[in-house]
Amino acid sequence: MLLRIVSILFPLFSLTALGYFVGKRMRPDLSHANKLNMDVFVPALVFAALANKEFRIADFGALGVATLIVVVGSGLVGWLLARQAGVAPKTFVPPMMFNNCGNLGLPLSVLAFGDAALAPAVVMFMVSNLLHFSFGAWLLDHRIKLWTVWKVPSVLATLLGLAVGIAGVQVWPPLMLAIKMLGDIAIPLMLFALGVRLTDSRISSIGLGLYSAVARPVAGMLLALGVLLVFDLPPQQQALMLVFGALPPAVLNYIFAERYHQEPEAVASMVLIGNVAAVLFLPIALAMVLP
């Protein structure tokens, strides 16, 4: 079991570590690559997964609702912990609420459970992503117009993919292959860029970082276990839900905190220490779900 967990996690952490090493030594500017990933490659990955003729939205309705409950529940737990610790909720809640289900979650799902896990993992990613770009942004700036969230490329790709899948439209195979090839760029670039991005993080609040590094996966896994008592999900989706709960804070939390001037250094500490702590918590989650 230990060897199997290491073989699953090694590609993830090795690519991230490579990105961190390259970021430290070469200081590459990945701003354009990251923009391409978020605006082209990730939307292609999402569209290809949802527009697939084997994708049936009815099979993932309960999973979407369960994911929503875990995300919102994590935010409520984060708010309670922030009040108890005397930390600004706007600083603490987003990293608790929005995990790294893109950079780590998508590749981890495929490596651990096979290609068939990509579609449900994308559903979970899009539920979290939609909330992050709408409620998450509004939480930091109440002037945000929530209705503009459809303009986010990955959200638009979700809507188009669902429309094509529900309508039963068969995308021309060569075109679908081209879209899948674009989507295949997204995951390794996500991991590499995550490592590079972490080199920009500064640990200014070690105590807060350690506090959230434990609270985020523990609360997430407990909420996932509670949800699984209510929702009768297929075994693979149950496993994905528990792993989803164990994921560390998303790097996007730091980007949002910087954009909206919400203690970015403190959030950076939470993101950096949380992602390092994933080395401990993800093996625990995998050990609980792998047969």
The DSSP H or E segment spanning 76 is helix 61-85
Q: Say if CB 57 and CB 165 are below 8 A apart.
A: yes
**Quick one: fold of 2-289?**
Na+/H+ antiporter like fold (1.20.1530)
Residue ranges of the chain with per-residue pLDDT less than 50: none
Would you kindly state where each structural domain of the chain is located, as residue ranges? 2-289
Provide the pLDDT for residue 210: 93
Q: What is the pLDDT of residues 129-182, one digit of tens each?
A: 889 988 998 898 888 777 777 788 888 998 898 888 888 888 999 999 999 999
Please name the residue ranges forming H helices in 132-172.
Answer: 137-140, 153-167
Could you tell me which residues come within 8 angstroms of residue 46 by beta carbon, excluding any fewer than 6 positions away?
122, 125, 126, 154, 157, 158, 161, 183
User: In this structure, is the dihedral angle defined by the CA atoms of residues 183, 184, 187 and 188, taken in order, positive or negative?
Assistant: negative
Q: What is the pLDDT of residues 48-60, one digit of tens each?
A: 888 876 777 778 9
Q: How far apart are the first and last CA of the chain?
A: 9
